[in-house]
Amino acid sequence: MTDIQQITAPELARRLAAGDPVQLLDVREDWEYAFNRIPGSRLCPMSQLPVWAAELDPAQEYVIYCHHGIRSMHACAYLRSKGFTRLVNLIGGIDAWSHEVDPTVPLY
């Protein structure tokens, strides 16, 4: 999984502020998404990823995140195995986003 592209939280914040056309996918569970999220993200729980994958556009660029970046790496690997090529993992997940970009996003 080391060949999966990665991005830091500050780099992602810059891309979003610049209006880059990336789709944020949150692969955490429903209760985690309800607690906090990066604005504009779409919930695609890891447990339901095979179902969601059929609804996603393989040509779209996706930045995938979870709590700390582990589940999202697995999600990237799974989606890559299904033919997706424009996948980026958020290093440190939403925890890094809260620490490095937006401290108003609650930690858990």
Q: Is 66 labeled as catalytic in the residue annotation? A: yes
Distance between CA atoms of residues 107 and 36, nearest Å: 8
Question: Can you spell out the DSSP letters for 21-64?
Answer: -EEEEE-S-HHHHHH---TT-EE--GGGHHHHHTTS-TTSEEEE
- List the catalytic residue out of 25, 66, 87, 101: 66
Distance between CA atoms of residues 64 and 19, nearest Å: 17
Active site residues: 66
